[in-house]
Structure 1
Amino acid sequence: MAVLAGIGVGVYVLADDGGSGGGSAGPAQQDRRDSGGRNDPFGDSGGGGGGESPAPDSPGSPERSEPPTIDSGSVADPVSGISLPIPDGWSGQQLSVGASVTSDDSYKCPGDASNTCTKGGAYSAPALVLGTKGDTAEEVAKADIEANAEESYGEKAYGGITSHEELASKAVTVAGQKGYLVRWKAVTEKGADGYVESLAFPSPADPERIVVVRFGVDTDQQQTVIDEITKGIEVSEAGGGNGQDV
């Protein structure tokens, strides 16, 4: 896997794995209009986000334009063969190896006021890209939740997580696939506490590959938005990022 850089998020390339290539999923809660802040899964600083300026994808390559923002409907993740619904007051973007939906309600990150955080978000990416280990959806979800929590509410943006409570750990059907979710309530050192969830299931586009959807939502929001997005994930072959399923 070669580490590259992108517009506002880090970009990875999947080594020859079934012919799929591309970049990282976007952050679940970092305001992706900023090149830093919380929940950038592939920032140079590791979990909790990255504040590095974007760099070219590779020597001599053209500049990567930021994908369009979608304000309603759904946003497709053609790599994993799914679409994520866009809740009211949120927006979505299709990314190189995934898709994201993010709350439009933003504020200065309490742990680093130079960056912007949002009230909630979710993004999809193959477990391989995230580096999450496991052979089953349950194994992947359980292995991913701690990294997800740190990414969403970690030290850089929120001063660190002081404790957590497991709210759910159960099997669930997503886009016709047998998956598994783990949800925590994370208590932070500074600012908002958060609900975080790691949802894992076989990709409809490639059942041998497990896709992860990472959620992070401030606790002053309703957990129901996580359930709404989970229930609204559908099989999709759309590749244009226009908010329409195929």
Structure 2
Amino acid sequence: MSMTPPPGWYRDPSYPLVERWWDGTAWTDHRRQPEVPQQPLVPAPPADSSGSGRARTVALVTAAVVLVAAIVTGGVLLRHDDGGGDGDDKATARTTPAAASSTPDDGPSPSPSGPSPSAGDKSVVVDELNGITFPVLDGWAKPQYAADHDMVLSTPRTYDCPGDPGLCRHGRVDSRTATATDETSPKALAEGDIEDAADSAYGHDLVGSRPFHGITSHSVVKSGSVAVAGRAGYYVRWKVKTGVGPGGYVESLAFQSSVGSQSLVIVRIAIDSGADAPPLSDMDRITAGIRSVGAKDAGGGVGSSIGPSQ
């Protein structure tokens, strides 16, 4: 159902710049210049039946005129507001975009999974790369300002090396991913690594110096299968004698990682001989205390049953 506009002056659909008299049923020939204010456009009378194409053109022109008028009016109002508007209105305008946000921006959202359960535990050291943690035993600490990034534990105090100048420690633990080999057997990897482990601890340091004047001899203390963080592993332990100093013990421990590509992990433990060094039993305690990140009971150690190797 459509409503017929009452008689009155309306914009001429044939020529929008003038007004034309609508008698309530049809357009008349009476026209005039628009007065201000003009007659409302809605409801609009029907278009002139003189031609549909012409009517469409006139309608488009009318829309354009109305749009321009709206833009000009808006510009005037904005200038008026900037010049002498109410300060509260301006504040409301400035805060409107922020109020439209459904969630306030209070900083980064927390990770759904959150930090590792071991991240804030000072009794362990986390090796995120290999997905394992190490127990911090009495007399051990996470090293600070260490030049070797593989070192995860060390005795906190240093002493002057007995050979080439430098600072030595009574104990250290290193952890690394075995990426430079295709070996998949923990036994073969540990047996192949022990010589390099001994040399890095008592033969040559990172800059090629010989803090103990080299290794003069070694003997195998023990070796065997071991469960590490619930996974099958193997260890080899040497006792080494050095050119100067007390010598010490070195262990290479290999097992399968539980993260990433599950590459084999090599853990090296070195402890000096002598009264100032940690007890040799710390080697077994550190091995038994290795856990997967987030785990609480998947341990192992020398003499423990071997966990799954998958």
TM range (shorter): 0.5 to 0.7
Question: What's 1:73 paired with?
Answer: 123
Aligned partner (choices 210, 213, 219) of residue 264 of structure 2: 210
Matched, 1:230 2:287: yes
Whether 1:151 aligns to 2:200 is yes
CA–CA separation in structure 2 for the residues paired with 1:157 and 1:217:
15
What is the aligned-residue RMSD (CA, Å)? 2.5
TM-score by length of 1: 0.62
Asked if 2 retains the 8 angstrom alpha-carbon contact of 1:174 and 1:234, the reply is yes
In structure 2, what is the Cα distance between the partners aligned to 1:205 and 1:97?
20
Q: Kindly provide the amino acid, as one letter, of the partner of residue 126 in structure 2.
A: A
The aligned amino acid for 2:152 is S
Q: In terms of Rg, which structure is larger?
A: 2
1:137 counterpart residue number: 186
Query: Cα–Cα, structure 1 residues 189 and 141, in superposed 2: closer, same or farther, change >3 Å?
Result: same
Amino acid at match of 1:117: C
Q: Structure 2: which 5+ residue stretches go unaligned?
A: 1-119, 205-209, 296-310
**2:214 is the counterpart of 1:160:** yes
Give 1:157 deviation, angstroms. 1.2
User: Once superposed, which parts of structure 1, at least 4 consecutive aligned residues long, lie more than 2 Å away?
Assistant: 93-99, 131-134
SS in 1 for 2:129: coil
Which residue in 1 is equivalent to 2:169? 118
Q: Does 1:106 align with 2:172?
A: no
Gaps of 5+ in 1: 1-69, 239-246
Instruction: Report the structure, 1 or 2, having the larger helix content.
Output: 2
Aligned to 1:20: none
Contact 2:155–2:169 (8 Å) recurs in 1: yes
CA, structure 1 residues 163+71, in 2 after alignment: closer, same or farther (shift >3 Å)?
farther
Question: What amino acid maps onto 1:80 in structure 2?
Answer: N
The 8 Å contact of residues 124 and 136 in structure 2, kept in 1 or not, is answered as: yes
Report the 3-state secondary structure (helix = DSSP H, G, I; strand = E; otherwise coil) of the residue aligned with 2:142: strand
User: Conserved in 2, the CA contact under 8 Å of 1:77 and 1:97?
Assistant: no
CA distance in 2, matches of 1:213, 1:132: 15
Alpha-carbon shift at residue 144 of structure 1 (Å): 0.4
**Counterpart contact for 1:77–1:98, Cα < 8 Å:** no
**Would the alpha carbon gap of residues 177 and 99 (structure 1) be closer, same or farther in structure 2, given more than 3 Å must change?**
farther
Task: Give the aligned partner of residue 90 of structure 2.
Answer: none
Contact 2:143 2:156 in 1 (8 A): no
Percent of residue pairs bearing the same amino acid type = 39
Aligned: 1:189 with 2:240:
no
Deviation at 1:207, TM superposition (A): 5.9
Distance 2:228 2:200 in 1: 23
Map residues 13-52 of structure 1 onto 2, 5 A cutoff. Answer: none
Paired with 1:193 and 1:71, the residues of 2 have a C-alpha distance of: 33
The one-character-per-residue Cα deviations of 1:190-222 (angstroms, maximum 9, x if unpaired) are 112110000000001146300000111001232
1:157 partner SS? coil
Figure out how many residues of one structure are paired with residues of the other and give that number.
166
Structure-2 separation of matches of 1:230 and 1:122: 10
Using the alignment, how far apart are the partners of 2:195 and 2:182 within structure 1? 13
The answer to whether the 8 Å contact 1:84/1:99 transfers is no
- Residues 83 and 98 of structure 1: CA distance in aligned 2, closer, same or farther (over 3 Å): farther
Q: Structure 2 matches for 1:235-246, cutoff 5 A?
A: 235-236=292-293
1:94-136 Cα shifts (integer Å, max 9, x gaps): 99975510001321111122x11010010111012xx456221
- 1:92-103 alignment to 2 at 5 Å? 92-93=142-143, 100-103=152-155
CA distance in 2, matches of 1:135, 1:219: 33
Structure 2 CA distance, aligned partners of 1:158 and 1:123?
19
Change (3 A) 1:71 1:123: farther
